[in-house]
Amino acid sequence: MNDMLIPILIFAFALIYYKTNQQETCWYRRYMLPALFIILAFLYFANIIACILLFIASILVYYSSKGYGRKVLEEKETKEDKKSEEKKKNETGVN
């Protein structure tokens, strides 16, 4: 079972990541892959170099994921709201 733990973990995170990609308003998607790397680092706790590399990988993945944070989604929604308001104003002004 120990040799199946890592593939099961990776599959579970990939499944969750897939499900969150289907949702447009998912704000926690950005944290999924870094969390996987951190959990894997704890599994390799005996190997310090592997732990350090996995922690660095989690940081790199976190900062490379743009557009998934809650703040970015809120900004996106406000921009869309402003566009829809302007569109309504233009439609009512034309008639």
Distance CA 63, CA 50 (A): 20
pTM of the model: 0.57
Dihedral of CA atoms 63, 68, 74, 80 in degrees, nearest 10, equals 120
Distance CA 46, CA 54 (A): 13
Model pLDDT for residues 14-26, shown as the tens digit of each residue? 888 888 878 777 7
Structural domain boundaries enclosing 28: 2-94
pLDDT of 1 > 60? The answer is: no
Residue with tokens 């990541």: 17
More confidently predicted of 59 and 1: 59
The total number of structural domains that make up the chain: 1
pLDDT of 3 > 80? The answer is: no
